[in-house]
Structures are given as structure tokens and as C-alpha cells.
Structure 1
Amino acid sequence: MPEEVTGGCMCGRVRYRATIEDDDAYLCHCRMCQRATGGVSIAFKNVSKTAVAWETEPERYVSSPIARRGFCAQCGTPLTYEAQDHAFMDLTVGSFDDSARFKPVEHSGCESWHRDWLDTSGLPASRTDENASMVKRWMDALGKLPD
């Protein structure tokens, strides 16, 4: 059943509403996405371009002969991957207000897949509020931990 969800960049300047059909998402591991994000992969939700309404349009740059990417020029948040000749686009999962709802259902660009970075469940883990120096920095700067 279609549902409207919201999202935007880290600083809040760029905001959007999107109508989605499900919670399916995917991970792209291609070198272009790695370079565009500085990460080993990026999580995307594929949506119809007509299903997205921007309160403030993101800036966009042509990242290849076939696509452009939307981002916030103020804070740098990557927001979209948009093929030039396609009716659908990808929104970054991390830019949704409720990003935890989405579940990966496939991998793309696997020729550049860094598998050691994705199955990390066996590594030691800690919460931000358990890191005393990080807590102090946030408390000194903001008086609270970030959301």
C-alpha cells in the first residue's frame, strides 16, 4: 500500500516527501558510488521520480555521462542517484527520517564489493553514549547527545 515518507539532509536545508510502495532497498558497491560517498557502499531506495516532492531542491552534479547525483551544498549530504533517461531515481536510505524501516533485498555493482566491510557483526561494538570523550564533546558543544 502506498505510503508517504519524509527525509532530507543533515542540516535540514533540503527536505523531501516521497510516496513508496514497500520497504525494499538495495546496496550499491560500484566505484562511482564509493567515490561519491567516500564509503564502501551506499544504501538506496528506488522510487519513481514523480513520487518525490522537494520542499527545497538539492543541488545536482553530473557524475557520469548517464547520471547525476543530488546533494546538499551546505552540509554535503548525498541524497540521490538519478539516471538521465529513466523514470525512476534512487534516494539514499540514510536521508530518510525513518531509515531503519528499510531492508536490503539485493546488491548492485558487486565487481567492487568489499565483503569484509559488510559482515562486521562479529566485531566489538559500542554505543556513542558509552564513549566518555565523545559524550563530553557533545555535552560541551550542545548540552545533549545528537539524535
Structure 2
Amino acid sequence: MTGGCQCGSVRYSVEVADDDAYLCHCRMCQRATGGVFAALKQVPRAAVTWVTREPDRYASSEIAVRGFCRECGTPLTYEGHGSDQLDLTVGSFDEAHRLRPTGHFGVESRHRAWSEGVDLPEKRTGDLPNIAKKWMETRGNVPD
């Protein structure tokens, strides 16, 4: 599989054994991603090839660093010290739809109201006229 940051300056290729991923609800992941959980895919470090350049890294705690793009800010990795595994953010994969959550971690900080919103009303980006118009004027289409 392949992936990278929003601006394209950090790109990777990774060999994956399956489509399993997980949701991490710990406060560190919430703060690192700016979301109520992080969607992550764990892979062997040796399976990752940084195609353009390696991400910049921030020592987010005593036990790990997090990789990100210094240009656009996209969170890319969680890397525990001394581990032969690392976690890639699901949203950074080009084909993120392939991956499926198989479990939850850090549930002591879980915000259930945000992670169980399956029955909430839904709208597509193109359903919002003011946003759709801006995309059409600048790009010529509404992105997926």
C-alpha cells in the first residue's frame, strides 16, 4: 500500500499483511491528531519505505515519537521507543477504505458520543451549496 501527507512531500510505501487497523482513544492520540481518536495501522518498521523523505518527528512522550509533515502538518506515525513496529495513520493511506477497525485501545479516554455516531444525519460535501461552489470555482470538481 502507499500513502503520504496532504501536500505530498512525505510519501511512503508499505507491505501490509492484512487490512486490520485499530482506533486509539488515549489522550496522547487525541492531542496529536486533534481528533477524538486516532485510526492507526500497525506494521513492521522494516516494511515501510519512505519514498520522498522521512517525516519529521516529535517526542510526544517519554515512550514514543510521532512522525508528521513539517510542510502541511499531517500526522503520519506513532513510533514507540525500542519497538520493531510502528503505526501509520489510516487517513494517510491512499486507499484508506481498504482498512477496517478491529479493536479499540486507550478506552479510558474514549468519547462514546463521538465514536458511536452511526445513526446521525449525513450530508455529502456536494450537498452544501456554498462549499460545493467554492470547490467548483477553484478545482472544477468536489473532492471525494
TM over 0.5: yes
What letter corresponds to residue 16 of structure 1 in structure 2? Y
1:79 pairs with 2:79:
no
**What secondary structure sits across from 1:64 in the alignment?**
coil
Match of 2:101 in 1: 104
Runs ≥4 residues deviating over 6 A: none
Q: Which of 99, 122, 125 is equivalent to 1:125?
A: 122
**Equivalent residue pairs, number:** 143
1:122: how far off?
Answer: 1.2
Q: Which of 27, 34, 42 is equivalent to 1:31?
A: 27
Q: What value does the CA root-mean-square deviation take over the aligned residues?
A: 0.8
Match of 2:13 in 1: 17
What letter corresponds to residue 55 of structure 2 in structure 1? P
- Percent of matched pairs sharing the same residue: 57
Match of 1:92 in 2: 89
Q: Which of 37, 40, 51 is equivalent to 2:36?
A: 40
What letter corresponds to residue 22 of structure 2 in structure 1? Y
Partners of 2:85 and 2:118 in 1: CA distance: 33
What letter corresponds to residue 48 of structure 1 in structure 2? P
Q: Which of 29, 44, 50 is equivalent to 2:46?
A: 50
1:146: how far off?
Answer: 2.1
1:39: how far off?
Answer: 0.4
Structure 2, unmatched stretches of 5+, are none
Partners of 2:61 and 2:99 in 1: CA distance: 27
TM-score normalised to structure 2 length: 0.97
Structure 1, unmatched stretches of 5+, are none
Partners of 2:106 and 2:28 in 1: CA distance: 9
TM-score normalised to structure 1 length: 0.95
